[in-house]
Structure 1
Amino acid sequence: MKIFDRCCAIAVIQNKKILLGERTDGQGWSMAGGKLEEGEDYETAAKRELNEEFDIFATTLNCLGAVTSEVYIKGKKSIVRPTVFLCKDYTGIPKPYLPEMKELRWIGLNELSSVELFKPTKEIIDLYGDVLFK
């Protein structure tokens, strides 16, 4: 099984809530993220993905590390290993990128169990939740 490790995920946090988008592919609620384009470093890709998917611009990103998770890419089970960034400072008003996200919602830690999380997003929250929601 192929491992995709040239990818990123961005946890946008404000007032102890995380900004998640409902994916149009039916895999649940997700952070912004995606794969690196040719010549990009991880931080550049994270800023681009955040702008493309949530229509906001990160002013500060902090790298937290990486997680490994299973996903379905074009219907095939795959492994992703995104580098995870924390974003607490941004400009713009979040809105979903419609081909990929149906809607966006701010979700508190105590509300996470009420939504189906995209598997990598769940793995990131499980691993880094203490840092994200402190």
Structure 2
Amino acid sequence: MENRIVVGGVLIHHGRVLAARRSAPAEVAGRWEFPGGKAEPGETQQQALERELFEELGVRARAVGRLPGEWPIRAGLVLRIWSAELLEGEPEPLEDHSEVRWLGPDELSAVDWLEHDREVLPEVARLLAAG
């Protein structure tokens, strides 16, 4: 059976990246992540990310490029993280999150990231530095 893809979005705007604090499920509540969700059948990863960012945060964004690596979340689910640019809207925690925060390059370690999101922070720092 093929793994189902979960997309996470490194949403970058004005040299900062968006972090979202999970409100559910209980085992990850209070930890921070790059928001996203599961790709639906027939959807590209880019389409899934853009849809999830709209559903979870109320923003329009464009998927730009996939970051290196992938992370198994649980049996049958694999996380892939993409960079994205904010096109319109101000992110709000609509679903699955209790708070969102824009972080600059020197603030990336200021929140308690989920492990797989923490692993991409060096790449995120590189993207922020590249402007």
What TM-score, normalized to structure 2? 0.79
Summarize the alignment of residues 12-27 of structure 1 with structure 2, pairs less than 5 Å apart: 12-25=11-24, 26=29
Checking the alignment, whether the CA contact within 8 Å between 2:5 and 2:38 is kept in structure 1 is: yes
CA-to-aligned-CA distance 1:56-109 (integer Å, 9 cap, x gap) = 011x321124423354xxxxx5585433222223111210124x0001111122
How far did residue 5 of structure 1 move? 4.9
1:64 aligns with 2:66: yes
Checking the alignment, whether the CA contact within 8 Å between 2:7 and 2:39 is kept in structure 1 is: yes
> 1:86 — aligned with what?
83
How far did residue 45 of structure 1 move? 0.3
Give the aligned length.
126
Separation of aligned partners in 2, 1:55 and 1:9? 15
Tell me which amino acid in the other structure corresponds to 2:13: Q
Cα gap change, 1:32 to 1:84, in 2 (>3 Å):
same
Cα gap change, 1:97 to 1:66, in 2 (>3 Å):
farther
Summarize the alignment of residues 80-119 of structure 1 with structure 2, pairs less than 5 Å apart: 81-98=78-95, 100-119=96-115
Checking the alignment, whether the CA contact within 8 Å between 1:20 and 1:106 is kept in structure 2 is: yes
Separation of aligned partners in 1, 2:41 and 2:126? 33
Checking the alignment, whether the CA contact within 8 Å between 2:31 and 2:112 is kept in structure 1 is: yes
Give every structure 1 segment of 4 or more consecutive aligned residues whose post-TM-superposition deviation is greater than 6 Å: none
SS in 2 for 1:105: strand
> 1:126 — aligned with what?
122
SS in 2 for 1:112: helix
RMSD of Structure 2 on Structure 1 (CA): 2.5
Tell me which amino acid in the other structure corresponds to 2:117: T
> 2:54 — aligned with what?
51
What TM-score, normalized to structure 1? 0.78
Separation of aligned partners in 2, 1:121 and 1:48? 20
> 2:39 — aligned with what?
36
Unaligned 5+ segments in structure 1 are 72-76
Unaligned 5+ segments in structure 2 are none
Residue identity over aligned pairs, in percent, reads 24
- Which stretch has the larger CA shift, 46-55 or 82-91? 82-91
